[in-house]
Structure 1
Amino acid sequence: MHFVDAKGILSQLNGMNVYRGCTHGCIYCDSRSACYGFTHAFEDIEVKRNAPQLLEKALRSKRRKCMIGTGAMCDPYMHCEEELQITRKCLELIERYEFGAAIQTKSDRILRDLDLLKRINEKTKCVVQMTLTTYDEELCRILEPNVCTTGRRAQVLEILRDEGIPTVVWLSPILPFLNDTKENIEGILEYCVRAKVRGIICFGMGMTLREGDREYYYQALDRHFPGLRQKYHQKYGYAYELASDRNGELMGIFRSVCQRHGILHDVDACFRYLHEFPEKYEQLTLF
């Protein structure tokens, strides 16, 4: 872990990452890709120590309220957040200035900030996005080794449901030859239905691989699933998009369950929901 003073904190779409890198160890993580320009080891977390100060300045300068997103690139609830609490400090500012929050994570550490999530949601809107990929708990511990399993994340979704906080699930990635099964998709969808999630984001049954991410993934396959790397090479070569052979069947199951239970599942509709700020709060007060 090392500390930097960042020059800015919010993107053009009002997203922020207070950390760069991750310690969750997910074997498929796209954020490892070379295109993101990491100049340090991925597990050597870069901490933007001045993130709260930058965020407060940015929020005070905005003419209109909006949703503030975090977690799209690096999880805001990694192990170091327990001590540093930078994510919490930023949420305190979002709540104080009455903006909305859209938080993406795999970690049950988010429950530490349940008080803040509830206050933000009471004032404006708070949406928690939870990534679910693998119903089988043992397989999940291999694919996502340093973070709570899918079963625990499902419990978090139910707690948020009971507290009135809307949730969206990322059903991605689905790894060919590993979790692209009917049992896996149906198990995850059962969790989503039980938790009454607002939407599920799924780009199709498959994954992406590019330089940096690809090498790490294949090394993990060699450790845990000997011979599987060769199947990937034979089928996909060096393709960026790796669609499962079961994509049609599994997407049919996905759409059917979502339609039956009234769950948003069009990707564009899900993103509109995440970015929509409640109209009555859009204009800043003068006081």
Structure 2
Amino acid sequence: MHYVKAKGILSAKNGMNLYRGCSHGCIYCDSRSKCYHMEHEFEDIEIKENAIELLEIALKHKRKKCMIGTGAMTDPYIPLEMELGHIRKAMALVCEYGHGFTVITKSSRILRDIDLLKKINDTTKCVVQMTMTTYDEELCRKIEPNVSTTRERFEVLKELHGAGIPAVVWLSPILPFINDTEENILGILDYCARAEVYGVICFGMGLTLRDGNREYFYRQLDRSFPGMKEKYIRKYGDQYMIESPNSRKLMALFHEICRQNEMLHDNAQIFAYLNTFEEKYAGRQLSIFDL
């Protein structure tokens, strides 16, 4: 790990990344792409040493309450977080200044902070976003080696639901010839339905490969799926969008199962929900009669 001083912490859309780089080792990670200009080894985590100070200044000067998000580039619940506690400090500030909060993770470590997640959700809105890629636990260990398995994430989702904290699942990515099967989609959606998630985001049955993450992905295919890299090169060349040959059939199945289980599956509606700040009073949402 190494430390840097950041000039700012919140993006124009109120997102933040307290860390840069990751130790989860997911073979498909888009954050390794060269376009993000990460000038250090990906596993050498960059820590913004003044992030919490900058966040407090930003929140203090916000003219309107809003949703604060994290996890888009780096999962905040890497092992190092358990030592440093930056995300917990950030959540405490979000709570103190009365903003909403949403976080994307693949880790059961988030349960360490369930007290703060619940406290935020009791007064405004807190939504946990959980990525789920493969129902098969053995396959999960191959493509996401250093993170909670899908079954463990399912247990987290159930616990969040029991605490009244809404959750959204990202069904992504789907790797052609690896996890692009009906069994996989049905298994993940069964977990989602049983955990009563608010909605499931899916941009299609496939993945994206850019310069940087493509090379890493192919090295990992050579390691864990001999011969698969050559199959990808023959089928897709240097394409950015890598779509499963089963995409149309799997997307139809995805939408049908979501409809049957009354899980929101329109990406635009889910993002509108994630970005909409809500305030509650005395255990209920504010209405016009409270103003």
Whether the 8 Å CA contact 1:92–1:116 is kept in 2: the answer is yes
Whether the 8 Å CA contact 1:104–1:128 is kept in 2: the answer is yes
Q: Distance in 2 between matches of 1:257 and 1:61?
A: 44
Question: Where does residue 46 of structure 2 map in the other structure?
Answer: 46
Q: What are the superposed Cα offsets for residues 40-97 of structure 1, whole Å, 9 maximum, x if unpaired?
A: 0000000011111100000000110000000011001001001000000000000111
Structure 2: 5+ residue runs without aligned partners? 287-291
TM superposition shift of 1:259:
1.1
Residue 19 of structure 1 pairs with residue 16 of structure 2: no
For 1:68, the aligned partner's letter is I
Question: Where does residue 78 of structure 1 map in the other structure?
Answer: 78
Question: Where does residue 265 of structure 2 map in the other structure?
Answer: 265
TM superposition shift of 1:280:
6.2
TM superposition shift of 1:124:
0.3
Whether the 8 Å CA contact 1:26–1:145 is kept in 2: the answer is yes
Residue 213 of structure 1 pairs with residue 224 of structure 2: no
TM superposition shift of 1:194:
0.2
Whether the 8 Å CA contact 1:49–1:86 is kept in 2: the answer is no
Q: Distance in 2 between matches of 1:93 and 1:49?
A: 16
Q: What are the superposed Cα offsets for residues 125-179 of structure 1, whole Å, 9 maximum, x if unpaired?
A: 0000000001000000000000110000000000000000000000010000000
Check 1:92–1:279 CA distance in 2 against 1; reply closer, same or farther (3 A cut): closer
Question: Where does residue 222 of structure 1 map in the other structure?
Answer: 222
Q: TM-score, normalised by structure 2?
A: 0.96
TM superposition shift of 1:261:
1.6
Once superposed, which parts of structure 1, at least 4 consecutive aligned residues long, lie more than 3 Å away? 279-283
TM superposition shift of 1:278:
1.1
Q: Distance in 1 between matches of 2:211 and 2:184?
A: 28
Whether the 8 Å CA contact 2:255–2:265 is kept in 1: the answer is yes
RMSD across aligned positions (CA): 1.3
Whether the 8 Å CA contact 2:125–2:279 is kept in 1: the answer is no
Whether the 8 Å CA contact 2:209–2:242 is kept in 1: the answer is yes
- The equivalences for 1:30-109 within 5 A come to 30-109=30-109
TM superposition shift of 1:5:
1.1
Whether the 8 Å CA contact 2:27–2:216 is kept in 1: the answer is yes
Q: TM-score, normalised by structure 1?
A: 0.97
Q: Once the two structures are aligned, what percentage of the paired residues are identical?
A: 62
For these two proteins, the number of residue pairs brought into alignment is: 283
For 2:145, the aligned partner's letter is P
For 1:154, the aligned partner's letter is F
For 1:242, the aligned partner's letter is I
For 1:211, the aligned partner's letter is D
